[in-house]
Amino acid sequence: MQNKNIFYIFGNLQAITLGLIIFFILGTTDIGKDTAITLSILFPLFTVMIEYLIYSKK
């Protein structure tokens, strides 16, 4: 139970950090703001989902 809570805490922190990094990096390019927001939300979300699938198999 405690390992699951740790996974949720650090998984969310990782997703938020990754999203902010992607958003700020794409903000310096010519990509539109809507595309930067979409990519900065979807990529970390899919990453956390895949990590959860891998973690839940153990």
What residues contact residue 51 under an 8 Å CB cut-off, 6+ apart?
11
Residue with tokens 């979409």: 38
State residue 6's pLDDT score. Answer: 84
- HSE (CB half, 13 Å, CA atoms) of 42? 6
Which tens digit of pLDDT belongs to each residue from 1-49?
Answer: 677 788 888 989 999 999 999 999 998 888 889 999 999 999 999 999 9
The type of residue at 1 is: M
- Taking the CB of residue 11, how many other CB atoms lie within 10 A of it? 17
Q: How many residues does the chain have?
A: 58
